[in-house]
Amino acid sequence: MKIGFIGLGIMGKPMVKNLIKAGHELYINDRNQETIAELVDLGATAVANGKEAAQAGELVITMLPNSPHVKTVALGEGGIIEGAHEGLVYVDMSSIAPLVSREVHDALAEKGLPMLDAPVSGGEPKAIDGTMSVMVGGDKEVFDAVKPVIDVMAGDVTYVGGIGAGNIAKLANQTIVAVNIAACAEAFTLAQKAGVDPEAVYKAIRGGLAGSTVMDAKVPMMLARNFNPGFRINLHIKDLGNVLDTGHGVNAPLPLTSLVREMMSVLDGDGHAAEDHSSLVKVYEKLANIELAPGEPEA
């Protein structure tokens, strides 16, 4: 299939690589010319904007940082809407505000261009190995038609409901991930302050009810002091802002989300915004005056 793909960051680049490996013909656009060159060497074709990506493809995918970027690429000058043609489908795999998904969908629908919102979860490792979770909103028949392509990039693809439902599911996901990381950081800081090896505590509890995919992915990073971004703090701040805006709009109380969002703001202010969200542990380290690290437990 001929696929336009816009947004080649931490997640988008490996997603494109998996599509190329599967035999699809890719037409790509991004500001990072080094990434463009790398993917062109693998067989992709560079295009100037969303319009050209749409004109070249039967399917166009975006993987962009936030709502304004999606609106600009989809509806702005040189945008996807200008390249709309019969048979084209648009899938936005960015994590954005659900109301924006619906706004873009409605504008494209006037041009006869169907859209799905299909945000992803799993971070860079799962984007690389093609095992991301994808949650999809939009018309079910459109979803069924493009699911084989999404399957190339994902280990789990779930249809959630109408347009915007995918991003509602992603907001729920991001709330759980954020609060889980914060709880892990808090718990292992407690262990170390109490004189017990946090790595030993991790090994003791990871197989029980407290264990989680988040714990297994992020606690080893905390202990190794490896904060290379799989998912950056500044992007999680963006997501939690969308969670809170949506919660306020539907009168859903979000006290834990609010607290973790403010903790991430501390990290942003301290210059850690580009680090992995596992660096939430640094807030606790600052408060407890320690640096989390494995070590021999005290007798």
SS3 state of residue 244? helix
Considering only CA atoms, which of 89, 84, 82, 42 is closest in space to residue 62? 89
CB atoms under 10 Å from CB of 43, counted, come to: 12
Rounded Cα distance, 291 and 282, in Å: 8
Rounded Cα distance, 67 and 96, in Å: 5
Residues, the chain: 299
Radius of gyration of the chain (CA): 20
User: What residue type is assigned to position 285 of the chain?
Assistant: E
Rounded Cα distance, 194 and 41, in Å: 54
Catalytic residue among 13, 17, 51, 170: 170
Q: Are 4 and 61 in contact (CB under 8 A)?
A: yes
Cα dihedral value 92, 95, 101, 107, nearest 10 = -50
Rounded Cα distance, 242 and 171, in Å: 7
Rounded Cα distance, 119 and 20, in Å: 20
The structure tokens listed for 18 are: 């998996």
Count Cβ atoms within 10 A of the Cβ of residue 195 and give its class: 0-12 exposed, 13-18 middle, 19 or more buried. Answer: exposed
> Catalytic residue at 170?
yes
CB atoms under 10 Å from CB of 277, counted, come to: 30
Catalytic positions: 170
